[in-house]
Amino acid sequence: MSTATKKVVDERLYEVGELTRVEGEGSLRLRVRDGEVIEARLGIFETPRYFEQLVVGRTPDEVIDMVARICGICPVAYQMSASHAFEDLFGIRIDPSSRALRRLFYCGEWIESHALHIYLLHAPDFLGYPSAIDMAADHKPLVEQALRMKKAGNRLVTILGGRPIHPVSVRVGGWSRAPRAAELKEHRAALADGLAFAQETVKIVSGFTMPAFAREPRVVSLRHAAEYPFNDGRIVSSDGIDLAPSAWRDAFSEIHVEGSNALHARSLDGKGPYLVGPAARVALAAGQLHPLAKEALDATGLADLIRTNMYASIVARAVELLHAFAEAIDIIDAYRPPAEALVPWQSRPGVAAWATEAPRGLLFHRYEVDEAGRIRSAQIVPPTSQNQAAIEADLMVAAKEVLDLSHEAATHRLEQMIRSYDPCISCATHFLDLTIEEA
Amino acid sequence: MNETAALVAALNTSWFASGLSEKAQTRLAELGRRFTAEPGTELFREGESSDTFGILVHGRVALRTLVPERGDITILTVEPGDVYLWSALVPPYRASSTGTAIEPIESIIFEGAALRAALRDECELAAALYPRVLVAVARRLYATRLQMLDLFATQQVKEW
Amino acid sequence: MVIRTTPLRGHRPALEGPGFLARADLQILIDLLRDDGRRVIGPTVSDGAIIFDEITSLDDLPRGIGDEQAPGRYRLRRRNDERLFGFVVGPTAWKKWTFPALVPLTVATKDGHKVSFTPQPPDSSPVAFLGARACDIAALGIHDTVFTGTAFIDPDYAARRARVFIVAVQCTNAASTCFCTSMGTGPEVDGGHDILLTELDGGFLIEADSAAGHVLMDKLPLRAASATEQYGAAATVAAVRARIGDPVPAAGLPDRLLAQLDHPRWAQVAERCITCGNCTLACPTCFCTTLTQTTDLSGSESIMYRSWDSCFSPGFAKVAGGSFRSRPRDRYRQWLTHKFATWWDQFGSSGCVGCGRCITWCPVGIDVRDELNAIAPAVPLVPETPIVEPVAATPNDFVTARVVATRQETVDTTTLTLTGTDPAFAQGSTGQFAMVALPGFPPLPISISRFLPDGIELTIRGAGPATKAMCALQVGEQLGLRGPLGNNWPLDRAVGRDLVIVTGGIGLAPLRPVLHAIVGGRRRFGDVKLFYGARTPADLLYRDELERWGASDGIEVSLTVDRAGPDWTGRVGIVTHLFDQAVWDGANMIAFVCGPERMMQATATTLAGRGVPASRIHVTLERHMECGIGLCGHCQMGKYFVCRDGPVFSIGQLGDIFGREGI
Amino acid sequence: MATHATPAVHATPAVARPRVGVVKFASCDGCQLTLLDLEDELLSIVEHFEIVDFPEATSSRSEGPYDVLFVEGSVSEPAHLERIVDLRRRTRHLVTIGACATAGGIQALRNWGDHDAFRAGVYAHPEWVQSLARSTPIAEHVTVDAELRGCPIDPGQLVELLTALTTGRRPQLRDESVCMECKRRGVVCVMVGKGMPCLGQVTQTGCGAICPRFGRGCYGCFGPREQANAAGLTRHLQMAGDRSREEVGRLFAGFTAYNEPFRSMVTELGGTRTGRTGTVADAAPTTGGKR
């Protein structure tokens, strides 16, 4: 870069060649000249895998298996957005019990993903360790409990889908197999144990000292009248956007930025970056939180901080962890196996689109389906692409806070800031459809 | 007894010739002569012309070949009764290995030109001798093949 | 909880002949069995098939449901009646309870240099099989022979089997895949059960065939079965027999089959066969298993599991250097010839009961009946009987022995002297081997290279991880032993004869005890010649003993190496080269041969050429072994288990399977 | 900190706490996540192994040398070519984990397509994106000491590999069909019982027969087993099962499609895109949900 070669008074470069404790491969680059940020960049060099091309010509059920492979941490989310999109287009009404199982499935993934991020990836930043492994030396019970929670989430996904990563049972029209009530009941105790510790977790993380930070982003998430957002609801924002879950493209699009294999999503109204994920959901849908989770959130008194301080997203994540445990238990207690786990269906041509809430935020899928029921084109917009602009905007803010720190401390602080987003870089990679930019 | 009779007797002790007809044995005895050597004697050298056919009667002969950087390798030891030298029958009549007596040896050797002439003119002798030569060669071939297999080598099983 | 009010129970005099049980009252039978503390295993619908699983009530049974079966196809269908057993055998075989797919055999622990092996007790909780068919019962009978019928008892099977109560059901229909009639196992149930039911429209004809059966029957609300009912029952079963016919004429089948080892059809069926192994695991008599170890990260405790395996899996017949049955056709041939032919030699019966599971559950629908009829024309062949049985030992029972001395024989070979071995080793004899185990490693067969008053010696070449670990054992460390196993060198037959011992490499180890025995009683034998070949002079084992045997013990010792430097004045060449010119009278000669298989073939040929009769040329074979007593199936060679019937065989015994590929 | 408890008798006396690294190439991170998903063993694992490099889990980094290096992902961009060779140099046991590393992964489906078209089809500025025309397994580039199959790998097999390492034994990874595990678990064969196509017979075991247990056919994510008779299965599915070439081809065109003999089946039968445009279309609409 030409600017880099110029000699300037007090130019500082903060760089992390390979971000650690994030999913996938990304880099951070921040240049500050005379106190002014002149470059803030979350680079993403995760290798492209061309999923949107790979699914062309395949059947909807094959797509569900394939898109799961976009991300090893949130495969369920990809299966959910895809299956709902196709069911919406084909006019399939799945058994209510199957729908409950889909929410339960999501609970499992949220528990696994949030517990992983809170304790194994993020907490070490607040407690000053390079990793949870090192953290375990001093805080063994804490880490053991965290692993138990994570296991409880994984187990839930396994009961429903055969394995925690890339489960196999989600099909267009429901499930290839629905669990027996007894299988779920057996797991209830572990979830109850997890629930208790999740409540503890909210207290623990709200006790962490949050670095100073102040920026109130626009937030976007699903919102549903009766449920905390998982698979269903309308796409809403803090400034009035209100769309059907299939209509994401009415308000947003993606662009390709040099130096990145991922894309930035932006809103068409030009109002700039927006935030998705736990903090956004808590901001927009706190009303639908499970009473236990709502209660815990209020007890922290951090609801406002979560909206303005990115570091506090760990609290939002903990509250959602608690919600997922609580709702999972409710679903299991009410569970009756579906009369028809898998309802017969027939494809019809058209556009299948849907958004659901992945652990990291809004995940939008869009497929054109041809007469033979094969995919003609695909677009997948993961949370991290949508957050990327917000992350870089926040780097600008964070920069001002770190100028007085040592270079090393500053760099670490910035990396911690990025981790607050729980960026999922494998997902973020390679999702752009040229046609959109042209549109 | 006369020299021929003694040679016939010697031939009879050998695996190689014991199977031959009395007539063939006698004829061979006329063609051959007795040969003895001390241990360490180099009887013929790899690559050098050696227009002789030899049957070992006593002692042991090592057949060696020179492998650069590994030195002389013994590839076979010939036991009494066996043919230890047949280059007289195979053009260009050169030794294919170096033969060294590793024990006091006694053998019966045949001068190449004379033997070949006899075999060419006397069908009966040829018919009797060649099958024995062929058996000896075939056996040598098979043995070499098994040696190549390196049967007793440790099969190093992959650690993983 | 079930309420039973049966005025008759206990008051009714025992019936003469069969009784009649109303269909609804079958619940009472189930309850009585459960009151005896038995889990009742019976047919029930699951995943679109009728499987066997634990049942508690009549409602669990497949009421009014039948099945359609064809090669590679199974579907349920509604019947237009209320029958509870209106179907034929499904995917499950009863072996699931008598011979489970996964059994923990032994827990091994390691604490410093101390190791211990603890056999795991079998789960022997009482069960009742409800709805066993004639073929199923025949299959149990075959397993009884395999696991408890020879010198070797499998304790796990024995314990489980002893607690089975069998309620048999006569077949009242047949599937297109049934051929019990040809195998002589059905359809009529003929013994092996406690109670027999024949389902009729209104209920069951019921008979008892054991004391326990009679006790139970007397508690049931029965009336005497009418003549019509008895006739009806007999007629239905007869009709089933007629429907099945005789798809695979069995007379002389074993011989016909073994005469066709080179039939082109083997290659053709291998085109279709996916070698997935479904047939063997669906089969109610297949009993091959494999051991796996699970260890904790510290290596201090490991559990040895036994699980179902299949001769169709490439790894099944693997030894260092490859598989004995590398081609799918070899594996299909092994399965079919074992099941229908060599099983007779091993266990005195066919291994097939004609249940048809291997046909229905073959995903690509290969029909064993078609293959048999295509491959086996009538050609006779004379079977031979296996030789002496070695000492018994169970597969999960290891004795720990301690290393008291180690001797480095060559760069990669070590001799361990062990004490504290099983007293049985004191009775052991030349040529036998032991299964040797270290915690976390699969047990390996190692031949005994010396018998001592209070122990044995093992000479081990460190080739793989396990053998390397054994070679690395230090004085004071322990390992686990089972044995002595296998048969022995027939020294008695060598008395008064000239004995030729031909061996190469590590092969001298199993023959070393023979030489010790000879030295002990030299006069009892004629000339004794030892021909020993090694790779290089440095690879010769027991050099001091070789010296002594030759010098003072009256044994003619001839050594040869494959290659040597000029300083070696001994012989160079393959071991047969040492005597292939010798003019011998083989008539009074007996030969013991041990070495790589190719070398033994060369030797056997040469010896035969010296006039030694095939019946007196003895070789010892190496195969993949896990149990060492003919229970795991790995080491099968034709009709023999190498571990149990061997490892020593005469060339005469082996006949043309010696040196044939893919056996 | 507990010391490693490798018994003295071991074939390969493991150094105190083997140094373990975990690296990724083109992948979804699911296989390395499996290590973190060993919730019960994780803390004991870090007692017996020194995790020296594992970016997803720790900020401490290392350049090796590694006693064991777990490699996730496929080689699919120019930089990967040098990186894998370089890593191999610093590694004693190189273990590939997952379908991407052992078979090229789902992204290897592009190997049948037009790479430039793919790139242009996804990116506004293809010239900014570095990637290779083919996604290939690690073993195509360096020697691999052991491989854990699967998409993702099986936690049990991962633990077995680790314990084999501390015990010094060879990892016990069976080379049999999925059917074997299916039968051991008493699952009713979905192909025979429900007429569903299933790759279990030609697929390497290790997953625990998950798909048949969950009422669907195996989709081969553990890849072809030794001597897999894919041609035989294909013949059967086409003839007895009455399925179109392309339908059977799509079965093989999955997460391990690039490993033989699956590769030949895909090439021969189709099932994945062979060009930029055009979908392989049957006349009739796709249906689902039927049993």
The domains of chain A are located at 51-438
Within 8 A of D145 by CB-CB distance, chain B residues are: 159-160
Structure tokens at C514: 């023979």
Q: Is the pLDDT of residue D18 over 70?
A: yes
- Asked if the model's pLDDT at residue D283 lies above 60, the reply is no
Q: Are strands C617-620 and C589-594 parallel, antiparallel or unpaired?
A: parallel
Using the beta-carbon criterion (under 8 Å), do B71 and C465 form an inter-chain contact?
Answer: no
pLDDT number for residue B159: 62
pTM over 0.90: no
Q: How far apart are CA D100 and CA D91, in angstroms?
A: 20
Q: How far is A217 from chain D (nearest CA, A)?
A: 27
**What's the confidence (pLDDT) of residue A157?**
98
Domain count of the fold of chain D:
2
Tell me how far apart the alpha carbons of residues C71 and C352 are, in angstroms, rounded to a whole number: 17
pLDDT tier, C656 (very low <50, low <70, confident <90, very high otherwise): confident
Whether residue D274 has pLDDT greater than 90: no
Report how far residue A310's alpha carbon sits from residue C601's, in angstroms, rounded to the nearest whole number.
79
Inter-chain contact A48–D58, Cβ cutoff 8 Å?
A: no
d(CA D291, CA D287): 11
D5 found inside a domain: no
Q: Which two tokens stand for residue B78?
A: 């010939």
Q: Residue B157 — very low, low, confident or very high, per pLDDT cuts 50/70/90?
A: low
pLDDT for position A265: 81
Give D288 to chain C, closest Cα distance, Å.
18
D190 with D142, same domain? no
Chain B residues with beta carbon closer than 8 angstroms to that of D167: none
Tell me which chain B residues have a C-beta less than 8 angstroms from the C-beta of D93: 160
Q: Which of D167, D193, D219 is at the close of a domain? A: D167
Coil, strand or helix: which one is D235?
A: helix
Q: Which of A390, C273, C48, C486 is nearest to D233 (CA)?
A: C273
Alpha carbons A278 and A323: distance in angstroms, whole number: 12
pLDDT for A21? 65
C399-485: CATH, from 3.30.1360.70, 2.40.30.10, 3.40.50.1390, 1.10.260.40: 2.40.30.10
> Given this model, what pLDDT does residue A426 score?
57
Q: Domain map of chain C by residue range?
A: 19-100+114-244, 253-375, 399-485, 491-620
Distance CA A171, CA A164 (A): 16
Cβ-Cβ pairs closer than 8 A, B with D, add up to 10
Q: Is C463 on the interface with B (CB under 8 A)?
A: yes
Please name the residue of chain B whose CA is at the shortest distance from the CA of residue D168. B159
Answer yes or no: are the C-beta atoms of C381 and C258 closer than 8 Å: yes
Mean pLDDT across the stretch C6-35?
A: 80
- Asked whether residue D280 is assigned to any structural domain, the reply reads no
Q: Would you state the pLDDT for residue C381?
A: 33
**Domain at D155, CATH number:** 3.40.50.700
Cβ within 8 Å of residue B131, ≥6 positions away = none
User: What's the pLDDT band for C361 if we cut at 50, 70, 90?
Assistant: very high
Let me know whether D207 and D252 are in one domain.
yes
**D188 occurs within a structural domain:** yes
Among chain B residues, the shortest Cα distance to C578 is held by B79
Q: Which two tokens stand for residue C197?
A: 């039911």
B60 touches chain C (CB under 8 A): yes
Out of B43-57, B135-149, C403-417, D136-150, which region has the weakest mean confidence (pLDDT)?
A: B135-149
pLDDT digits (tens, 9 = 90+) for A392-438: 888 888 877 787 888 888 888 888 888 888 877 655 543 332 222 22
Asked if residue D275 has pLDDT above 80, the reply is no
Whether C8 has a pLDDT exceeding 80, the answer reads: no
pLDDT-based confidence at C380, cuts 50/70/90? Answer: very low
Q: Among all residues of chain D, which has the CA nearest to that of C277?
A: D180
Q: Does residue B40 belong to the interface with chain C, where contact is any CB pair within 8 Å? A: no
CB-based contact, D48 to chain A, within 8 Å? no
Q: What pLDDT is stored for residue B160 in this prediction? A: 62
Q: Is D146 on the interface with B (CB under 8 A)?
A: yes
Whether chains C and D touch (3+ CB pairs under 8 A) is answered by yes
In a domain, D80, yes or no: yes
* Mean pLDDT, range D212-220, rounded to an integer: 97
The whole-number average pLDDT for the span C253-266 is 90
Rounded to 5 degrees, φ, ψ at C114 are -90, 130
| pLDDT for C385 | 33
Which of A72-86, A192-206, C169-183, C314-328 is predicted with the least confidence, judged by mean pLDDT? C314-328
Report yes or no: A274 and A264 within 8 Å, Cβ to Cβ.
no
pLDDT-derived band at C379, boundaries 50, 70, 90: very low
pLDDT at C112: 86
Distances from the Cα of C320 to the Cα of C324, C406, C463, angstroms: 10, 25, 9
When mean pLDDT is compared across C207-211, C265-269, C423-427, C438-442, the lowest value belongs to C423-427
User: Range of D256's domain?
Assistant: 178-269
Q: What percent of chain C has pLDDT over 90?
A: 65
Judge whether residue D134 has pLDDT over 80: yes
Q: Does B152 touch chain D (CB under 8 A)?
A: no
Which residues, numbered 164 to 203 in chain D, qualify as contacts with chain A under a Cβ-Cβ cut-off of 8 Å?
Answer: none
Q: Is residue D13 part of a domain?
A: no
What tens digit of pLDDT does each residue of C114-158 get?
A: 999 999 998 879 999 999 999 999 999 999 999 999 889 999 999
Q: Which of C49, C365, C470 has its CB closest to that of D240? A: C365
pLDDT of residue A23: 67
pLDDT, averaged per 10 consecutive residues of chain A (439 residues), comes to 51 70 73 80 78 92 96 95 97 96 98 94 90 90 95 98 97 96 96 97 95 90 96 95 95 78 79 92 96 97 93 96 98 96 95 96 96 93 88 83 82 84 64 27
pLDDT at C353: 97
Can you give the pLDDT at residue B155? 59
- In B, which residues are within 8 Å of C321 by CB distance? 155
DSSP secondary structure of C58-85 = GGGS-TTEEEEEETTEEEEEE-SS--SS
Residues of chain A neighbouring D128 (CB-CB closer than 8 A): 256, 258-259
Average pLDDT, chain C: 89
> What CATH topology corresponds to A51-438?
Cytochrome-c3 Hydrogenase; chain B (1.10.645)
| Cis upstream peptide for C187 (omega within 30°) | yes
The arithmetic mean of pLDDT across residues B18-38, rounded, is 91
Query: Percent of chain C, pLDDT > 70?
Result: 95
- Report phi then psi at A126, rounded to 5: -75, -30
Domains in chain B, CATH or no CATH each? 3-149 (2.60.120.10)
C68-94 confidence digits (pLDDT tens): 999 999 999 999 999 999 999 999 999
Across the interface, of D120, D219, D289, the residue whose CB is closest to A344 is: D289
Weakest mean pLDDT among A214-218, C29-33, C647-651, D122-126? D122-126
B159 touching D (Cβ < 8 Å): yes
Q: What is the pLDDT of residue D250?
A: 94
Q: What is the pLDDT of residue A234?
A: 97
The confidence score (pLDDT) of residue C321 equals 64
Residues of chain A neighbouring D281 (CB-CB closer than 8 A): 370-372, 374
Tell me if the domain spanning C491-620 has CATH number 3.40.50.80.
yes
